[in-house]
Amino acid sequence: MTGVIGSRLDARKVLTETRTMNQILRQKSPIRPGIRNIEPNGIGKVAMLALGEPDLLPLWFGETDLKTPEFICDAAKRALDEGRTFYTHARGITPLREAIREFHRRTLACEIALDRITVPGAAMLAVVIALQSVVETGDNIVAISPVWPNIFQAAQIVGADVKFCRLQEDWAASCWRLNLEALFATCDGRTKAIFIASPGNPTGWILSRDEQRAILEFCRSRGIAIISDEVYGTLVYDGTPHAPSFLQVAEPDDAVFVVNSFSKPWAMTGWRIGWLVHPEFLADQMNVLAMANNTGATTFAQWGALAALSPEGDEFRSFLLERCRNGFDITRRFIEAQNRIRWIPPEGAFYGFLQVDGLTDSFGFACDLVHKGRVGVAPGSAFAPPEDFATDAYIRVCFAQDPKLLQTGLDRLGSAIAAL
């Protein structure tokens, strides 16, 4: 299979070859059904249509158009020049883990033992390791949706089903609401973890402190783990340094896994580095899991990440947050000028999750938009199970963009919606 996905033609070729591969594998094969049947998520499928095409405005992925700041790149380059090209400790270099501990002191005012911090690679890998730690084939996890779709596939890869508890729109109060009773009722005897991304992707919803406490109590009483994805934790619009974190309420030995990342706040998506805070008693096991999955994060990326946690990195985070605030305002003004779009303003993260009046096939719409409107958006259906028709009326745009690019992208989107 070609590794180049530079044009529509290549994308079609990849899809056709994947299909052929699946047909061959279905005949007689040792490949697990969970892997055989795996498919790209909805965002990936739309993006394959035109990834990298220069005239397309990409608002589909969760990343800013800003490059990683120079001081972070310089630190990684320095590490290379100094010959830091060898294996490191599988759980990450000590100065980085210490700086992460300090970051938690600064942003959350909480003290995390060094033994609870592991840097295995990106947040994606941290999520997989958290799942590997709790799930066996046939178990399930419960996710609060609409939710970042990679979690569906990560669960499938470790052999778990995903059950969903959908946030409900409260249009009158302009917020998303979590029904805790519904969440708890979704858990059954095979539920091993509740997955929560707060601030959420795609909604920007934030779990409250009281809800956290209630979920923690429930999970303790039922022997269920919490996987708390806090990669947008510092991208919040209420002026606080961080959204409520499970680290502020959980005990060191609670079955709580907090996932974090350098990708979003420091514009480092391509570096593939993040971290996991896990129960203290799992320190040795995390060493083995980190070893077996990646044998540690890329060495010079770790030195770059260390620079990100410096005061200069804090300045960059503030700058990016202001840029996102501006993107938020541009998106809000765009929505106000449209009569067929509404949203629940996000409390955090950097996405507009737009409900389009009359839209019933967000995937088809997103594909059309690529071809005719030359703007890339993520279809709402990607963030929910197929039976969740309500989410199919949504599309997601990432507003952490250059203001002109964002405005042009939204204008193109507005024209396409007017023609619906």
Judged by the rule CB under 6 A, the positions of this chain that interact with ligand PLP are: 62, 122-124, 148, 197, 201, 229, 231, 261, 263, 269, 274
When the beta carbons of 56 and 130 are compared against ligand PLP, the nearer one is 130
Nearer CB in complex with ligand PLP: 148/353:
148
**Element (DSSP H or E) covering residue 177:** strand 175-177
Tell me the two tokens of residue 29.
């094969």
Least separation in angstroms between residue 14's CB and ligand PLP is: 21
CA–CA distance, 111 with 119 (Å, rounded to integer): 17
Q: Are the C-beta atoms of 378 and 352 separated by less than 8 Å?
A: no
Task: Tell the smallest beta-carbon distance from residue 146 to ligand PLP (Å).
Answer: 11
3 state SS of 182: helix
Rounded Cα–Cα distance for residues 117 and 37 (Å): 34
- In the complex, least distance from residue 269 CB atom to ligand PLP, rounded to whole angstroms: 5
Beta carbon nearer to ligand PLP, 205 or 365? 205
- Contact residues for 284 (Cβ-Cβ < 8 A; gap 6+): none
Distance of closest approach, residue 23 Cβ to ligand PLP, in angstroms: 31
- Indicate the residue among 184 and 350 with the shorter CB distance to ligand PLP: 350
Instruction: Kindly state the smallest distance separating residue 360's Cβ from ligand PLP, in Å.
Output: 25
Locus of tokens 């609870």: 116
Minimum separation from the CB atom of position 268 to ligand PLP (A): 8
**DSSP β-bridge partners for residue 228:** 196, 258
* Residue 301 or 417 with smaller CB distance to ligand PLP: 301
Give whichever of 140 and 228 is closer to ligand PLP, judged by the CB atom. Answer: 228
- Contacts of residue 56, defined as CB under 8 A and 6 or more positions apart, other chains included, come to 50, 370, 374, 375, 376
- Long-range (24+ apart) CB contacts under 8 A made by 169-176 are 169/344, 169/355, 170/344, 171/342, 171/344, 174/344, 174/345, 175/205, 175/344, 175/347, 176/200, 176/203, 176/205, 176/344
Tokens of 252: 């060191």
Least distance from C-beta 315 to ligand PLP, angstroms?
Answer: 21
Using the minimum distance from each CB to ligand PLP, give the nearer residue, 99 or 416. 99
Separation CA 278–CA 119 (nearest Å): 11
